[in-house]
Amino acid sequence: MFRNVCAFLFSLFIVSTVISQDWNGIPVPAILEGDDTWVLQTDVSDDFNYSAPASSKGSTFLGKWDDWYHNPWSGPGSTEWSRTHSSVSGGELKLTASRYQTNKVNAGIIHSNQTVQFPVYIEAKVKIMNSVLANGAWLLSPDDTQEIDFMEGYGADFSESANEDLTWWAQRMHISHHVFIRSPFQDWQPNEFGSGPGNPSIHPTWITRNDGAGNILWKDNYHTYGVYWKDPWHLYYFIDGIQVTKREGKDQIDPVFFTNSRTPGDSNDDTRTGLSKAMDIIFSVEEQGWRTANGKSVIPTDTELANTVNHTMRIDWIRTYKPNSSLSVNDLNKRVVVEMHPNPSNGIVKLDSNSLIKNINCFDIKGQLVVSENYNDASVVFNIEKLVKGIYLLKIYSENGMLSYKKLIKN
């Protein structure tokens, strides 16, 4: 009896922990004009409250993500990206790193199945590794010519391989963007103190935060990192709900004319389009190759990589919003709004939608399909009486093929 009570209390603790990781109640810090409102984009948002084992991630994960880079590239520097170094458990996406061969690093990376494009606000809650490896949350166009990095951090404050104090790196979060010409390869991004005319130092790309006792180490806690990609010429970056830097105008976004629609890089032919292309969302861990200290490469040693806890990047959630005014009437009509009650439930759950519900697939926390029901109504009853207690994900299909996701708790 005591064992059962303890198990029940433990399950309540797990449920409470998972629920607390959601972004519900956290306002979007980017302010819209007039009466415009933010609309959640469910196909590129994820609270990771399900299970996706590293070797077999299941339909819930694979419906939104691919566990690889968005093009056939194995990684920079000594990095060898690996599909088995990403997983979802405990309400988090986890990207890990380990030794590969003699001097290479296996690491995790994922990218979204759907692209995003301005105007859009994207924010993720992340805890970076206690490692010299780079941890990133970024956007990249499928042709690799436009990039927005809304979080790039190096967690460890010491390098065993270089025997060097890296506190400077551990105290700074890199926030920036790139424009590229692929052939011959050229890459431009704002430097540490900004770039362009006027006084660029007011828009840093390396962000520090002082807690009164000195600059914090970003690896020590979870933080939210967000970007409001307003249009091709305006980027506003946020950490923990506070705007920390921005880029505005052609001379801060593309002073080198790399985004010219004709003759990229030719300043005599100003056809710049700015950051205009749709982009994939990417989370990654990598050894970038260029970092050195005292002439020695900053690469994790075997001893460092053996510490899996220190080499796990944790993503609690990612949420993506578009302004209501940017959505077409067709988009709004297609958007599935589903109300579900009661939740938690021990048997019958009612779902009411603004669209005909055609199918509901119910997945357990391991990502296994446990119930599938077909409907043809905007108000349906879903029976979970035979399910065991726990957390489930409902994948709801509407008449126009749009999806909605709902977390359900069986008590």
In a domain, 14, yes or no: no
In a domain, 4, yes or no: no
Task: Examine the domain organization and report whether 56 and 148 are in the same domain.
Answer: yes
Q: How far apart are CA 94 and CA 23, in angstroms?
A: 18
Per-residue pLDDT tens digits for 202-218: 688 999 999 888 899 99
Task: Examine the domain organization and report whether 143 and 98 are in the same domain.
Answer: yes
Q: How much of the chain is helix, strand and coil, in % rounded to 5? A: 15, 45, 40
Backbone angles phi and psi of 401, in degrees to 5: 85, -5
The count of residues in the chain is: 411
Tell whether the model's pLDDT for residue 20 goes beyond 50.
no
Task: Please say which residue of 279, 302, 325 terminates a domain.
Answer: 325
Per-residue pLDDT tens digits for 155-193: 999 999 889 999 999 999 999 999 999 999 999 999 754
Task: Examine the domain organization and report whether 270 and 142 are in the same domain.
Answer: yes
Task: Examine the domain organization and report whether 78 and 199 are in the same domain.
Answer: yes
Task: Examine the domain organization and report whether 124 and 198 are in the same domain.
Answer: yes
Task: Please say which residue of 308, 325, 342 terminates a domain.
Answer: 325
Per-residue pLDDT tens digits for 349-402: 999 888 889 889 888 877 788 999 999 999 999 999 999 998 888 888 887 656
Task: Examine the domain organization and report whether 350 and 294 are in the same domain.
Answer: no
Query: Is 147 an active-site residue?
Result: yes
DSSP alpha helix (H) spans, 152-297: 167-170, 250-253
Number of domains in the chain: 2
Task: Examine the domain organization and report whether 318 and 335 are in the same domain.
Answer: no
Query: What is the token pair recorded at 300?
Result: 């994790």
Catalytic member of 92, 123, 147, 286: 147
In a domain, 405, yes or no: yes
Task: Examine the domain organization and report whether 172 and 273 are in the same domain.
Answer: yes
Which CATH number do you get for residue 370? 2.60.40.3080
Q: How far apart are CA 269 and CA 284, in angstroms?
A: 36
Query: Is 152 an active-site residue?
Result: yes
Q: Which residues, at least 6 apart from 292, have a Cβ–Cβ distance to it below 8 Å?
A: 162, 298
State which residues form the domain around 395: 328-410
Per-residue pLDDT tens digits for 250-268: 999 999 999 999 999 999 9
Query: What is the token pair recorded at 345?
Result: 């439930």
Task: Examine the domain organization and report whether 277 and 357 are in the same domain.
Answer: no
Catalytic member of 92, 123, 152, 287: 152
